[in-house]
Chain A
Amino acid sequence: AQKITQTQPGMFVQEKEAVTLDCTYDTSDPSYGLFWYKQPSSGEMIFLIYQGSYDQQNATEGRYSLNFQKARKSANLVISASQLGDSAMYFCAMRQNYGGSQGNLIFGKGTKLSVKP
């Protein structure tokens, strides 16, 4: 069955330092996509970065990069040079082609990141 696990309920990082948010996933579908979303205290869901199961290189978007280790089924989000505005909930999510989910985006429980000045 499709599953996303985020084991860190909360994380602290000093401003300007890098931080890694962990995500592991489980699927039997060879075709899937992994996504990270940010939810600030204002509540909106912001799409950050995407990694496809067939992508050979790790995805990067500005200060965000995704450390994709397919054999270990992990898709960790790395935020470089943390800023105060990075304080938010971060969700790892997955879509797959087949199975009962039919392309539905399945979310992990999230990690609350707090950036300290």
Chain B
Amino acid sequence: DTAVSQTPKYLVTQMGNDKSIKCEQNLGHDTMYWYKQDSKKFLKIMFSYNNKELIINETVPNRFSPKSPDKAHLNLHINSLELGDSAVYFCASSQDRTSISYNSPLHFGNGTRLTVT
């Protein structure tokens, strides 16, 4: 009964390849996110979607494209992978009914460790 699940857990690939990370939440939440955690453990927002609509798109290369087929899913597709893309990518969700709720915690998936060689 995992709340936020993302697959795969580990992803090792070569430069130039295209890869996807899938995320699903069964909490009934309205907002979903992608965060990147770098080698120094710093967590930074990449994207957020509220009811399938893109809300935040931080300064992320356009090689990264999120796709939200429905409220429960937010996938991340990465084109032309580069060495610097190596990181842990976290999917998360929050309740946020009719508007963004500053008092709702984000619930995180277990992360996908991406290694680009």
Interface residues of A (CB under 8 A from B): 31-33, 35, 37, 39, 43-45, 47, 50, 52-53, 89, 91, 95-97, 101-107, 109-110
Query: Smallest CB-CB separation from A36: which chain B residue?
Result: B105
CB distance from B75 to the nearest CB of A (A): 19
A45 in complex: contacting residue of B56, B90, B94, CB < 8 Å = B90
One digit per residue, 1 when the CB lies within 8 angstroms of any chain A CB and 0 when it does not, for chain B 81-117 equals 0000000101010101000111111111011010000
Given the interface pairs A107-B42, A109-B42, the reply to whether A33 lies near B111 with Cβ below 8 Å is no
The reply to whether A103 and B100 form a contact with Cβ atoms under 8 Å apart is: yes
Query: Smallest CB-CB separation from B31: which chain A residue?
Result: A103
Question: Please, which residues of chain A bring their CB within 8 A of the CB of B92?
Answer: 45, 105
How many chain B residues have a CB neighbour from A under 8 Å?
Answer: 28
The reply to whether B105 and A91 form a contact with Cβ atoms under 8 Å apart is: no
The reply to whether A47 and B40 form a contact with Cβ atoms under 8 Å apart is: no
The reply to whether A47 and B107 form a contact with Cβ atoms under 8 Å apart is: yes
Question: Please, which residues of chain A bring their CB within 8 A of the CB of B103?
Answer: 33, 50, 52, 95
B15 interfacial contact with A, CB 8 Å:
no
A47 in complex: contacting residue of B43, B88, B96, B106, CB < 8 Å = B106
Interface residues of B (CB under 8 A from A): 31, 33, 40-45, 48, 55-56, 88, 90, 92, 94, 96, 100-108, 110-111, 113
Query: Smallest CB-CB separation from A32: which chain B residue?
Result: B102
The reply to whether B48 and A104 form a contact with Cβ atoms under 8 Å apart is: yes
New A-B contacts (15) at CB < 8 Å, excluding given A35-B105, A104-B56, A107-B43: A31-B102, A43-B110, A43-B111, A45-B90, A45-B108, A50-B103, A89-B41, A95-B104, A103-B31, A103-B55, A103-B102, A104-B48, A105-B45, A105-B92, A107-B42
A109 to B39, CA, bound (A): 12
Given the interface pairs A102-B55, A103-B31, the reply to whether A47 lies near B105 with Cβ below 8 Å is yes
Query: Smallest CB-CB separation from B111: which chain A residue?
Result: A43
Question: Please, which residues of chain A bring their CB within 8 A of the CB of B110?
Answer: 43-44
Query: Smallest CB-CB separation from B55: which chain A residue?
Result: A102
CB distance from A114 to the nearest CB of B (A): 15
Query: Smallest CB-CB separation from B107: which chain A residue?
Result: A47
The reply to whether A109 and B40 form a contact with Cβ atoms under 8 Å apart is: yes
Query: Smallest CB-CB separation from A95: which chain B residue?
Result: B102
